[in-house]
Structure 1
Amino acid sequence: MRVETLGDGEPEFAIVGGIHGDEPCGRIAVETLAEEKPDVERPVKLIIANERALERGVRYVDEDLNRAFPGSPDAETYEGRLAHELLSELRGCEILSLHSTRSHAAPFALVDELDGHARAVCPYLSVEALVETAEYSDGRLIAYPDVVELECGLQQSAAAADNATRLVREFLVAVGALTGESTPPRHHPLPVFRLDEQIPKRQADAYEVFVENFERVATGERFAAIDGEPLVAESPFYPILLSAYGYRNVFGYRGSLVGRLDGEPPAHRADGTSAQVESGTR
């Protein structure tokens, strides 16, 4: 694990890249900031987490680091020990964690729940959507307080690296660590979704996905296929992190649109009911 600090004093914020070794965008963004050494108003910790996996170009060495928290100094796996060390480095910081995905080109944010920290930061990031991970946070860094996770673009793409670098600067301006003009996101008001359930996929030779993430799938609509056999929606939902080959055993998630961050009137869930987004609630 590589750790550097910008500014003087105890860091108040941390930028974490390279939790997954096959997602280099975060490492690039952190290295760019470390090389530029901007004058910060409040100290910032820069972390490249899983250096071994990055060197090998694999997601992890022994186990997925983003399923290994809180870890232990006596863990049998490298990532289990690293998770413990990383949490120690992050203690007391507001955290931005950088990732990329095989499911969606445009950046979006994820939080465990829409608390005051998320409400204060996410509207000032140029992201397409905000996702509450809810019950799917176990073992992940996002389960801890004051963590915003960003999916910066398609895995191993130049665009994801560029997005990550821009989003880090936006985050640091939003929290007052960098001087600059903070502007509303491109997509405003910011839609807020929640992960409801995983969409499993059985072992097969070929998988297909026919719908776009964050766009409503209607009852009876074909949304994916396994060896040419279509999967049809039994009820409306919003696909999130949905891709043919992004995960081994699942396509991604069924989700709900639960509101909009700027206090717009209640949005409609996929099932036709409505929900109001309020600070600290799901």
Structure 2
Amino acid sequence: MRVREFGDDPEVAVVAGIHGDEPCGPDAVEALLDDPPDFQRPVKFVVANERALERDVRYVDEDLNRAFPGDPDAESHERRLAHRLLAELDGCATLALHSTQSYAHPFALVDTVDHETAGRCARLPVDAVVETADYAEGRLISYPGTVEVECGLQWSEEAAANARELVTAFLAATGVLPEDAGYERHDVPVFRLTGKVSKAPASRHEVFVENFERVEPGVPFASADDTEHVAQEAFYPILMSAEGYEDVFGYAGERIGELSEFEREERQESGGASSTSVRSRSSIQ
């Protein structure tokens, strides 16, 4: 694990290289640090799984982003690394950079959408925000202050360019860089994961639908060889692709509102006004 700090006791961190086969994050961090700007508050940059990056593999022993909180005495390289990384990020507002095989444009994932995470995500150039809820076990995202971003398609030049833009925007949103260096505040839809979409072993898998676009009941959304999977109820595909995961196509989700609603709701509650929790909605919009 490689760490570079600017200033004393940083409370903001950028993490790249959690997966060794996702080079867009390390490339973005290295590009920024080749000629570091004047940071307005302390910050640290972490390239996590150097061993996997050197081998151009996702992980050495196990998926680092399923190994938290880790164990300093574990035999697994990633489980030991998870323990060290958590200690390094303790108390930090953290941006974790990833890439995916499911969607070409950036989107953010958080454990829970609240006023703080909504405010930061509103300053990021993302298409959507996903609340992972009960599907973050073992992942860095389950720890307070963490925003994960999927920068784009794995190994693509676009993902690398997006990663650089996302880092700058996050640093501006957290006061590390001047506000005008960042991304203009904007509103995007918020989704919540509701379940995994299983994938049976097959010689050929296909996905017929687009991520974040509503799938109606009765519509075929994927296939394993000649067996079609048909939606039993409406859902939004999230992180869904033919080859991204071994045993699932991805996730089903529901749309639970717009990012601005979460910021507004928090302000109303803090001011004593009554409001209905956006997160309590069960209908898919």
Deviations 1:208-263 (A, max 9, x none): 00100000000111110110221110000000000000000000001000111112
TM-superposed CA distance for 1:276, in Å, is 5.2
Output aligned runs, 1:267-282, within 5 Å.
277=278
In structure 1, the residue matched to 2:273 is none
CA contact under 8 A between 1:24 and 1:54: conserved in structure 2? yes
1:88 maps onto 2:108 in alignment: no
TM-superposed CA distance for 1:155, in Å, is 0.4
TM-superposed CA distance for 1:119, in Å, is 1.4
TM-superposed CA distance for 1:200, in Å, is 0.4
CA contact under 8 A between 1:261 and 1:277: conserved in structure 2? no
TM-superposed CA distance for 1:92, in Å, is 1.5
Residue type matched to 2:210 in 1? E
In structure 1, the residue matched to 2:122 is 123
In structure 2, the residue matched to 1:263 is 261
In structure 1, the residue matched to 2:188 is 190
Residue type matched to 1:164 in 2? A
CA RMSD of aligned residues (A): 1.7
In structure 1, the residue matched to 2:45 is 46
CA contact under 8 A between 1:14 and 1:45: conserved in structure 2? yes
Output aligned runs, 1:66-215, within 5 Å.
66-181=65-180, 182-184=182-184, 188-215=186-213
TM-superposed CA distance for 1:180, in Å, is 3.7
SS at match of 1:100: strand
Give the whole-Å Cα distance in 1 for the aligned partners of 2:235 and 2:148.
Answer: 23
Give the whole-Å Cα distance in 2 for the aligned partners of 1:183 and 1:112.
Answer: 23
Deviations 1:94-127 (A, max 9, x none): 1000000000001000000012321120001010
Q: TM-score, normalised by structure 2?
A: 0.91
In structure 1, the residue matched to 2:16 is 17
Give the whole-Å Cα distance in 2 for the aligned partners of 1:156 and 1:183.
Answer: 24
In structure 2, the residue matched to 1:248 is 246
Structure 1 residues 168, 183: closer, same or farther in 2, change over 3 A? closer
CA contact under 8 A between 1:240 and 1:253: conserved in structure 2? yes
Residue type matched to 1:137 in 2? A
Residue type matched to 2:240 in 1? L
CA contact under 8 A between 2:21 and 2:58: conserved in structure 1? yes
Give the whole-Å Cα distance in 2 for the aligned partners of 1:278 and 1:245.
Answer: 31
1:220 maps onto 2:218 in alignment: yes
SS at match of 1:119: helix
Deviations 1:138-164 (A, max 9, x none): 100000000000000000111101100
Residue type matched to 1:68 in 2? A
Residue type matched to 1:58 in 2? V
Which runs of 5 or more structure 2 residues have no equivalent in the other structure? 266-275, 281-285
Give the whole-Å Cα distance in 1 for the aligned partners of 2:63 and 2:158.
Answer: 24
Give the whole-Å Cα distance in 1 for the aligned partners of 2:249 and 2:184.
Answer: 32
CA contact under 8 A between 2:12 and 2:43: conserved in structure 1? yes
SS at match of 1:74: coil
Deviations 1:4-63 (A, max 9, x none): 012x21111110000000000111111112112110001110000000000111100000
Q: TM-score, normalised by structure 1?
A: 0.92
Give the whole-Å Cα distance in 1 for the aligned partners of 2:103 and 2:39.
Answer: 32
**Number of aligned positions between the proteins:** 268
TM-superposed CA distance for 1:183, in Å, is 4.0
Give the whole-Å Cα distance in 2 for the aligned partners of 1:18 and 1:97.
Answer: 9
TM-superposed CA distance for 1:278, in Å, is 5.9
Give the whole-Å Cα distance in 1 for the aligned partners of 2:148 and 2:135.
Answer: 13
SS at match of 1:213: coil
- Work out the percentage of aligned pairs sharing the same amino acid: 57
Give the whole-Å Cα distance in 2 for the aligned partners of 1:94 and 1:230.
Answer: 43
Give the whole-Å Cα distance in 1 for the aligned partners of 2:279 and 2:12.
Answer: 25
